Amino acid sequence: MADVKELATKHTPTWCPGCGDFGILTAVKFAIAEVGLDPDNTVIVSGIGCGSKLPHFVKTYGFESLHGRALPCATGIKLANKNLNVIVITGDGDGLGIGANHFMHTMRRNFNITHVIQDNRIYGLTKGQYSPTTPKGRITPTSPHGALEEPVNPESWAIVAGATYVARGFALDNLQLRRLIADGIRHKGYALIDAFQMCPTYNKENSMQWYKEHIYKLEESGHNPKDKMAALAKALEAGDKLATGLFYVEEGKPVYEEQLPQMKEKALVHHDISKIDVKPFLERYM
Protein backbone atom coordinates (compact mmCIF):
# COMPACT_ATOMS: atom_id res chain seq x y z
CA MET A 1 0.00 0.00 0.00
CA ALA A 2 1.20 3.49 -0.85
CA ASP A 3 1.64 6.06 1.90
CA VAL A 4 -1.75 7.63 2.60
CA LYS A 5 -0.02 10.68 4.11
CA GLU A 6 1.30 11.55 0.65
CA LEU A 7 -2.30 12.08 -0.48
CA ALA A 8 -2.88 14.88 2.05
CA THR A 9 -3.16 18.48 0.85
CA LYS A 10 -2.68 21.79 2.66
CA HIS A 11 -6.45 22.25 2.87
CA THR A 12 -8.44 21.25 5.96
CA PRO A 13 -12.09 20.12 5.82
CA THR A 14 -14.61 22.49 7.43
CA TRP A 15 -17.39 19.92 7.79
CA CYS A 16 -19.54 19.84 10.91
CA PRO A 17 -18.20 17.71 13.80
CA GLY A 18 -19.56 14.18 13.43
CA CYS A 19 -20.23 14.50 9.69
CA GLY A 20 -19.90 11.25 7.75
CA ASP A 21 -17.88 13.04 5.07
CA PHE A 22 -14.77 12.60 7.22
CA GLY A 23 -15.12 8.81 7.12
CA ILE A 24 -15.77 8.79 3.37
CA LEU A 25 -12.72 11.00 2.74
CA THR A 26 -10.56 8.60 4.76
CA ALA A 27 -11.96 5.60 2.89
CA VAL A 28 -11.32 7.20 -0.52
CA LYS A 29 -7.71 8.03 0.38
CA PHE A 30 -7.00 4.55 1.75
CA ALA A 31 -8.62 2.95 -1.30
CA ILE A 32 -6.45 5.00 -3.68
CA ALA A 33 -3.38 4.02 -1.69
CA GLU A 34 -4.37 0.35 -1.50
CA VAL A 35 -4.92 0.05 -5.24
CA GLY A 36 -1.71 1.98 -5.84
CA LEU A 37 -3.15 4.59 -8.15
CA ASP A 38 -0.72 7.17 -9.47
CA PRO A 39 -1.98 10.56 -8.18
CA ASP A 40 -0.65 12.19 -11.35
CA ASN A 41 -2.92 9.94 -13.40
CA THR A 42 -6.00 10.21 -11.19
CA VAL A 43 -8.88 12.69 -11.29
CA ILE A 44 -11.56 13.14 -8.62
CA VAL A 45 -14.68 14.82 -9.99
CA SER A 46 -17.41 16.21 -7.75
CA GLY A 47 -20.61 18.20 -7.92
CA ILE A 48 -21.91 20.77 -5.44
CA GLY A 49 -22.59 19.99 -1.79
CA CYS A 50 -20.88 19.64 1.56
CA GLY A 51 -18.98 16.53 0.57
CA SER A 52 -18.23 17.75 -2.93
CA LYS A 53 -15.30 19.69 -1.54
CA LEU A 54 -13.54 16.32 -1.20
CA PRO A 55 -11.25 16.85 -4.25
CA HIS A 56 -9.63 19.73 -2.35
CA PHE A 57 -8.46 17.28 0.32
CA VAL A 58 -6.85 14.55 -1.82
CA LYS A 59 -3.58 15.18 -3.64
CA THR A 60 -4.71 14.09 -7.09
CA TYR A 61 -6.15 16.14 -9.92
CA GLY A 62 -9.63 17.41 -9.12
CA PHE A 63 -12.60 18.95 -10.89
CA GLU A 64 -15.46 20.51 -8.92
CA SER A 65 -18.32 20.77 -11.38
CA LEU A 66 -21.82 22.24 -11.34
CA HIS A 67 -24.68 20.89 -9.23
CA GLY A 68 -25.74 17.54 -10.65
CA ARG A 69 -23.19 17.58 -13.46
CA ALA A 70 -20.32 15.55 -12.00
CA LEU A 71 -21.02 12.46 -14.10
CA PRO A 72 -21.10 14.14 -17.54
CA CYS A 73 -17.89 15.99 -16.65
CA ALA A 74 -16.32 12.69 -15.59
CA THR A 75 -17.38 10.97 -18.80
CA GLY A 76 -15.93 13.86 -20.81
CA ILE A 77 -12.63 13.47 -18.96
CA LYS A 78 -12.67 9.72 -19.58
CA LEU A 79 -13.40 10.21 -23.28
CA ALA A 80 -10.53 12.69 -23.62
CA ASN A 81 -8.09 10.38 -21.86
CA LYS A 82 -9.30 6.83 -21.29
CA ASN A 83 -6.08 6.04 -19.40
CA LEU A 84 -6.95 8.29 -16.46
CA ASN A 85 -8.32 6.85 -13.22
CA VAL A 86 -11.60 8.70 -12.72
CA ILE A 87 -13.39 8.78 -9.35
CA VAL A 88 -16.67 10.66 -8.96
CA ILE A 89 -18.02 12.02 -5.68
CA THR A 90 -21.63 13.20 -5.47
CA GLY A 91 -24.18 13.71 -2.74
CA ASP A 92 -27.56 12.00 -2.77
CA GLY A 93 -29.06 15.37 -3.69
CA ASP A 94 -27.06 16.38 -6.74
CA GLY A 95 -26.31 12.80 -7.80
CA LEU A 96 -29.85 11.41 -7.62
CA GLY A 97 -31.93 14.59 -7.98
CA ILE A 98 -30.85 17.09 -10.59
CA GLY A 99 -28.20 14.62 -11.75
CA ALA A 100 -30.48 11.57 -12.01
CA ASN A 101 -30.62 11.69 -15.80
CA HIS A 102 -26.83 11.55 -16.03
CA PHE A 103 -26.78 8.81 -13.37
CA MET A 104 -29.00 6.50 -15.45
CA HIS A 105 -27.21 7.01 -18.76
CA THR A 106 -23.70 6.73 -17.34
CA MET A 107 -24.63 3.35 -15.90
CA ARG A 108 -26.14 1.95 -19.08
CA ARG A 109 -23.11 3.11 -21.08
CA ASN A 110 -20.78 1.40 -18.59
CA PHE A 111 -17.95 3.92 -18.48
CA ASN A 112 -14.94 2.67 -16.54
CA ILE A 113 -15.33 5.07 -13.61
CA THR A 114 -15.91 4.74 -9.86
CA HIS A 115 -18.85 6.68 -8.40
CA VAL A 116 -19.18 7.25 -4.64
CA ILE A 117 -22.48 8.71 -3.40
CA GLN A 118 -22.31 10.49 -0.03
CA ASP A 119 -25.80 9.51 1.10
CA ASN A 120 -26.96 11.41 4.19
CA ARG A 121 -30.65 11.41 3.17
CA ILE A 122 -30.88 15.21 3.30
CA TYR A 123 -29.68 18.39 1.60
CA GLY A 124 -27.02 19.41 4.11
CA LEU A 125 -25.38 22.35 2.36
CA THR A 126 -28.65 24.26 1.87
CA LYS A 127 -30.03 23.86 5.39
CA GLY A 128 -31.83 20.54 5.56
CA GLN A 129 -34.38 20.29 2.76
CA TYR A 130 -35.57 16.79 1.94
CA SER A 131 -33.52 15.00 -0.74
CA PRO A 132 -34.23 12.12 -3.16
CA THR A 133 -33.26 9.56 -0.49
CA THR A 134 -35.17 11.16 2.42
CA PRO A 135 -37.65 8.62 3.87
CA LYS A 136 -41.32 9.25 3.09
CA GLY A 137 -43.05 11.26 5.81
CA ARG A 138 -39.89 12.98 7.05
CA ILE A 139 -40.53 16.57 8.20
CA THR A 140 -38.02 19.08 6.85
CA PRO A 141 -38.03 22.82 6.00
CA THR A 142 -39.40 21.98 2.54
CA SER A 143 -41.76 19.22 3.71
CA PRO A 144 -43.42 20.65 6.85
CA HIS A 145 -46.22 18.07 6.60
CA GLY A 146 -43.87 15.22 5.74
CA ALA A 147 -42.16 14.26 2.48
CA LEU A 148 -44.73 12.85 0.04
CA GLU A 149 -42.43 10.95 -2.32
CA GLU A 150 -41.07 7.46 -1.95
CA PRO A 151 -37.26 7.67 -1.62
CA VAL A 152 -34.93 6.80 -4.47
CA ASN A 153 -33.22 3.43 -4.16
CA PRO A 154 -29.80 3.87 -5.82
CA GLU A 155 -28.88 0.18 -5.69
CA SER A 156 -32.03 -1.07 -7.44
CA TRP A 157 -31.77 1.71 -10.04
CA ALA A 158 -28.15 0.74 -10.69
CA ILE A 159 -28.80 -2.98 -11.05
CA VAL A 160 -31.67 -2.42 -13.48
CA ALA A 161 -29.89 0.34 -15.46
CA GLY A 162 -26.84 -1.78 -16.26
CA ALA A 163 -24.23 -0.92 -13.65
CA THR A 164 -21.64 -3.68 -13.43
CA TYR A 165 -20.56 -3.11 -9.80
CA VAL A 166 -23.10 -2.10 -7.16
CA ALA A 167 -22.22 -1.75 -3.49
CA ARG A 168 -23.25 0.07 -0.33
CA GLY A 169 -21.13 1.00 2.66
CA PHE A 170 -21.27 3.03 5.84
CA ALA A 171 -19.03 5.97 6.65
CA LEU A 172 -18.15 4.66 10.10
CA ASP A 173 -17.36 1.13 8.93
CA ASN A 174 -14.19 2.34 7.28
CA LEU A 175 -12.59 -1.05 6.70
CA GLN A 176 -15.59 -2.27 4.70
CA LEU A 177 -16.10 1.05 2.88
CA ARG A 178 -12.48 1.39 1.77
CA ARG A 179 -12.52 -2.22 0.54
CA LEU A 180 -15.69 -1.61 -1.48
CA ILE A 181 -14.23 1.55 -3.02
CA ALA A 182 -10.89 -0.15 -3.75
CA ASP A 183 -12.65 -3.08 -5.43
CA GLY A 184 -14.80 -0.59 -7.36
CA ILE A 185 -11.65 1.11 -8.64
CA ARG A 186 -10.18 -2.25 -9.67
CA HIS A 187 -13.41 -3.22 -11.43
CA LYS A 188 -13.45 -2.59 -15.18
CA GLY A 189 -16.74 -0.78 -15.75
CA TYR A 190 -19.08 1.58 -13.93
CA ALA A 191 -18.86 1.01 -10.17
CA LEU A 192 -21.36 2.48 -7.72
CA ILE A 193 -20.64 2.70 -4.00
CA ASP A 194 -23.55 4.23 -2.11
CA ALA A 195 -22.09 5.37 1.22
CA PHE A 196 -24.53 5.83 4.09
CA GLN A 197 -23.46 8.69 6.34
CA MET A 198 -24.67 10.86 9.17
CA CYS A 199 -25.62 14.54 8.96
CA PRO A 200 -25.66 15.46 12.67
CA THR A 201 -26.77 19.03 11.93
CA TYR A 202 -29.84 18.44 9.75
CA ASN A 203 -30.70 14.75 9.94
CA LYS A 204 -31.15 13.83 13.59
CA GLU A 205 -33.17 10.68 12.86
CA ASN A 206 -30.53 8.73 10.92
CA SER A 207 -27.81 9.06 13.52
CA MET A 208 -24.68 7.00 14.08
CA GLN A 209 -26.55 4.84 16.57
CA TRP A 210 -29.52 4.42 14.22
CA TYR A 211 -27.31 3.08 11.45
CA LYS A 212 -25.49 0.74 13.81
CA GLU A 213 -28.84 -0.74 14.87
CA HIS A 214 -30.20 -1.13 11.33
CA ILE A 215 -27.24 -2.30 9.23
CA TYR A 216 -26.20 -5.86 8.46
CA LYS A 217 -23.46 -7.12 6.12
CA LEU A 218 -24.25 -9.01 2.93
CA GLU A 219 -21.04 -11.00 3.15
CA GLU A 220 -22.34 -12.52 6.40
CA SER A 221 -25.69 -13.53 4.88
CA GLY A 222 -24.52 -15.92 2.15
CA HIS A 223 -25.43 -13.50 -0.65
CA ASN A 224 -24.12 -14.27 -4.16
CA PRO A 225 -23.26 -10.95 -5.87
CA LYS A 226 -23.24 -12.60 -9.30
CA ASP A 227 -26.94 -13.43 -9.01
CA LYS A 228 -28.66 -10.38 -10.48
CA MET A 229 -32.17 -11.17 -9.26
CA ALA A 230 -30.93 -11.94 -5.76
CA ALA A 231 -29.03 -8.67 -5.80
CA LEU A 232 -32.15 -6.78 -6.82
CA ALA A 233 -34.16 -8.46 -4.07
CA LYS A 234 -31.56 -7.41 -1.49
CA ALA A 235 -31.54 -3.87 -2.85
CA LEU A 236 -35.32 -3.65 -2.53
CA GLU A 237 -35.39 -4.87 1.07
CA ALA A 238 -37.42 -2.57 3.28
CA GLY A 239 -38.02 -2.42 7.00
CA ASP A 240 -35.70 -2.30 9.95
CA LYS A 241 -32.63 -3.85 8.31
CA LEU A 242 -30.44 -2.36 5.59
CA ALA A 243 -27.70 -4.33 3.87
CA THR A 244 -24.16 -3.10 3.25
CA GLY A 245 -21.57 -4.79 1.08
CA LEU A 246 -21.40 -5.89 -2.55
CA PHE A 247 -24.86 -6.34 -4.07
CA TYR A 248 -23.94 -7.13 -7.66
CA VAL A 249 -20.94 -7.55 -9.92
CA GLU A 250 -20.72 -8.40 -13.62
CA GLU A 251 -17.35 -9.02 -15.22
CA GLY A 252 -16.42 -8.83 -18.89
CA LYS A 253 -19.02 -6.35 -20.13
CA PRO A 254 -17.38 -3.96 -22.64
CA VAL A 255 -16.75 -0.46 -21.36
CA TYR A 256 -18.01 2.44 -23.42
CA GLU A 257 -14.76 4.24 -24.12
CA GLU A 258 -13.00 1.16 -25.49
CA GLN A 259 -15.71 0.54 -28.09
CA LEU A 260 -15.03 3.81 -29.90
CA PRO A 261 -12.86 3.08 -32.97
CA GLN A 262 -10.95 6.37 -32.72
CA MET A 263 -9.83 5.45 -29.21
CA LYS A 264 -8.85 1.80 -29.64
CA GLU A 265 -5.19 2.46 -30.34
CA LYS A 266 -4.64 5.49 -28.13
CA ALA A 267 -6.48 8.08 -26.08
CA LEU A 268 -7.87 11.12 -27.86
CA VAL A 269 -5.55 13.42 -25.95
CA HIS A 270 -2.58 11.72 -27.65
CA HIS A 271 -3.86 12.15 -31.22
CA ASP A 272 -1.94 14.49 -33.48
CA ILE A 273 -4.41 17.12 -34.70
CA SER A 274 -1.83 19.60 -35.97
CA LYS A 275 -2.51 18.72 -39.62
CA ILE A 276 -6.30 18.74 -39.41
CA ASP A 277 -7.87 21.59 -41.39
CA VAL A 278 -10.99 22.80 -39.56
CA LYS A 279 -11.77 25.58 -42.04
CA PRO A 280 -14.32 23.53 -44.05
CA PHE A 281 -16.14 22.68 -40.83
CA LEU A 282 -16.20 26.30 -39.67
CA GLU A 283 -17.37 27.54 -43.06
CA ARG A 284 -20.21 25.04 -43.10
CA TYR A 285 -21.55 25.61 -39.62
CA MET A 286 -20.55 29.18 -38.86
The pLDDT score that the predictor gives to residue 48 is 92
Question: pLDDT tens digits for the chain (286 residues)?
Answer: 668 999 999 999 999 999 999 999 999 999 999 999 999 999 999 999 999 999 999 999 999 999 999 999 999 999 999 999 999 999 999 999 999 999 999 999 999 999 999 999 999 989 999 999 999 999 999 999 999 999 999 999 999 999 999 999 999 999 999 999 999 999 999 999 999 999 999 999 999 999 999 999 999 999 999 999 999 999 999 878 899 999 999 999 999 999 999 888 889 888 888 888 888 989 999 8
Distance of CA 203 to the CA centre of its chain: 21
Strand order in the sheet with 191-196: 61-64, 42-46, 85-91, 114-119, 191-196, 165-170, 242-249, 215-217
All structural domains of the chain, each given as residue ranges with its CATH number in brackets, are 4-285 (3.40.50.970)
Q: pTM here?
A: 0.94
Rounded to an integer, what distance in angstroms lies between the CA atom of residue 111 and that of residue 113?
Answer: 6
The 8-class DSSP code of residue 129 comes to: B
The pLDDT score that the predictor gives to residue 149 is 93
Orientation angle between helical segments 174-186 and 21-35, nearest 10 degrees: 50
The pLDDT score that the predictor gives to residue 274 is 83
The pLDDT score that the predictor gives to residue 240 is 81
The pLDDT score that the predictor gives to residue 1 is 63
The 8-class DSSP code of residue 120 comes to: -
The pLDDT score that the predictor gives to residue 20 is 96
